[in-house]
Amino acid sequence: MVAEELREREARGRYTTVSIPITLYRRIKELIKDTGFTSVSQFVIYILREVISSMEEEKLRGESISEEEKKRIIDRLKKLGYL
Amino acid sequence: MVSKPHGMKLVNRVVAGKRREALLREAQELPKIVVNYSLAADLENIAHGVYSPLEGFMIQEDYLHVLYDMRLSNDVPWTIPIILDVDPEEISGIKEGDEVAIRYGDHLMAIMNVEEIYGWDKLEYVKQVYKTDDRGHPGVAKTIKKKELLLGGRIDLIDHVHSRFEKYTLWPIETRLLFKERGWKTIVGFQTRNVPHLGHEYVQKAALTFVDGLFINPLIGWKKPGDFKDEVIVEAYEALLRHYYPRDSVVFAVLAMEMRYAGPREAIHHAIVRKNFGCTHFIVGRDHAGVGNFYGPYEAWEIFREFPDLGITPFFIRESFYCKKCGGMVNAKICPHGEDSRIRISGTQLREMIKRGEKPLKEVMRPEVAEAVLRFKEPFIK
């Protein structure tokens, strides 16, 4: 995303600014050369979303349904021939 | 392990027992809104967690984020707005904060807490979602005819629409348990709006080779004229499954949800929905959810790169064809033979043959499937 577009979107309230060390910024800038990423911001957003979603998944324990509900579902699945 | 629900929460907005009885009584006193079949299906899908984490029709903030950023306001990926359109006169006297009864015909379905009433720019919608404002695009034409205002807010489902395919109707809580009971840890979802030809069978079985189970999930509901009728799709799949699929590795269930023909955006939507059913993988073929020449053949593959946090892995499977020299279905990556050995499957040609009552070649469609389709005098939507 070009800087101008980014600024425009920021102005519309959908982006905000966070700070990263300048050394890290340079390192990322070098890393993303000739990749599909067109800016450091785009790369950081991508990585953060990837990391956050896997952390959220780890945090989520198994889904719980009551034994009664489980029995009702299994009975229906058997009746329909799925089990 | 089956996939986690999208947004980490499997929504359940179906009311039962005493609360349902109380809401039924309450609904008699409420102003009503009447919805069409597609919206009734959306109501059921919201309530049963097919659209998790949505708990109702979108409020404006979510709507705008989805339109421009392809994410909900909490950053969770979402590409197709789930909206309830109404005419101003339909909601005269209704204000934000009120409750309304939602009916499908005479049938009371749900109660909605109206959190927001807002206007929308349909032209902007179609440009963002469909990437075109050409009225020749069926999704564009349908959107432009929608009503002028949108209602956003949570819903509580009181009752269902009677399904013609009750025995094939499963909800996410059921499929997730079913997959677990079968011991499946990896499940690939297959979206379709067509009767199956050998190309479909090839991609499904190629994907199934690498996972524990296959979830075939055709869409039932509004589609464009010229598409196959729902009952034709179901009967064609019954024939295919009966003769050519291992029963223990496959689950077949229908999903009432309208086709949008929104190409890449809809491919993401289809993947999210199957994730909620418990799928860990999702098949994305050539021109997924496309129509005419509105999208590039592999645009639906490219869009997945924008969603590192989708939580479901796409299987990108190339276009397949029958090769006379290989003696089976193959794709360009694995077949060394020339075009003269290849029998390509054209959906348009296939439809034309079926319209004429002709049985397609066995290299294109299984004879049992062809017979099931040809038993219908009018297999296509008019």
Q: Which CATH number fits domain B6-157: 3.10.400.10, 3.40.50.360, 3.40.50.720, 3.90.650.10?
A: 3.10.400.10
Supply the pLDDT for residue B236: 98
Q: How many CB atoms lie within 10 A of CB B87?
A: 12
Tokens for B154? 């949570």
A49, B308: Cβ pair inside 8 Å? yes
pLDDT band for position B345 (cuts 50, 70, 90) = confident
Supply the pLDDT for residue A14: 76
Single-letter amino acid, residue B130: Y
Tokens for B367? 């004879």
Measured CA to CA in angstroms, residue B12 lies from A25, A28, A65, B9, B380 at distances of: 43, 42, 11, 9, 35
Instruction: Determine the average pLDDT of the residues in B269-285.
Output: 97
Percent of chain B whose predicted confidence (pLDDT) is above 70: 100
Supply the pLDDT for residue A58: 79
pLDDT band for position A3 (cuts 50, 70, 90) = low
CA angle B273, B278, B283 (to 5 degrees): 60
Supply the pLDDT for residue B318: 86
B176 close contact with A: CB closer than 8 A: yes
Contacts of A50 in chain B (CB under 8 A): 308-309
Decide which of B220 and B346 is more confident: B220
Instruction: Name which of A32, A50, A53 to mutate to probe chain B: the one with the most chain B Cβ atoms within 10 A of its Cβ.
Output: A53
Integer Cα distance of B261 and B139 in angstroms: 6
CATH of domain B167-374: 3.40.50.620
* Residue B182 falls in the annotated catalytic set: no
Domain with CATH 3.40.50.620 in chain B: 167-374
8-state DSSP, B341: G
| Cβ-nearest to A60 among B4, B65, B181 | B4
The set of residues, in sequence order, having a beta carbon less than 8 Å from that of B7 and lying 6+ positions away, is B52, B53, B72, B74, B76
Instruction: Tell me if B312 sits within 8 A of B158, measured CB to CB.
Output: no
Instruction: Determine the average pLDDT of the residues in B131-160.
Output: 97
Contacts of B72 in chain A (CB under 8 A): none
DSSP per residue, A36-81: S--SHHHHHHHHHHHHHHHHHHHHS------HHHHHHHHHHHHHTT
Q: Tens of pLDDT along B8-51?
A: 999 999 999 999 999 999 999 999 999 999 999 999 999 999 99
Instruction: Tell me if B158 sits within 8 A of B27, measured CB to CB.
Output: yes
| Residue given tokens 């089990």 in the structure block | A83
User: What ipTM did this prediction achieve?
Assistant: 0.86
Q: How many CB atoms lie within 10 A of CB B333?
A: 6
Q: Tens of pLDDT along B72-115?
A: 999 999 999 999 999 999 999 999 999 999 999 999 999 999 99
Supply the pLDDT for residue A4: 61
| Residue given tokens 């004229």 in the structure block | B225
Residue A2 has pLDDT above 60, yes or no: no
Q: In B193-252, at which residue ranges do the beta strands (DSSP E only) sit?
A: 213-220, 250-252
Label the pairing between strands B255-256 and B213-220.
parallel
Instruction: Tell me if B310 sits within 8 A of B280, measured CB to CB.
Output: no
Min Cα distance A11 → chain B (Å) is 14
Tokens for B273? 């929905």
B311, A81: Cβ pair inside 8 Å? no
Min Cα distance A42 → chain B (Å) is 10
Q: Tens of pLDDT along B48-73?
A: 999 999 999 999 999 999 999 999 99
Integer Cα distance of B61 and B232 in angstroms: 40
Domain with CATH 3.10.400.10 in chain B: 6-157
Integer Cα distance of B173 and B175 in angstroms: 6
| Cβ-nearest to B309 among A50, A74, A83 | A50
A46, B308: Cβ pair inside 8 Å? yes
Choice among B45, B194, B217, B276 that is catalytic: B194
Instruction: Tell me if B286 sits within 8 A of B264, measured CB to CB.
Output: no
Neighbour-count burial of B49, counting CB atoms closer than 10 A to its CB (0-12 exposed, 13-18 middle, 19+ buried): buried
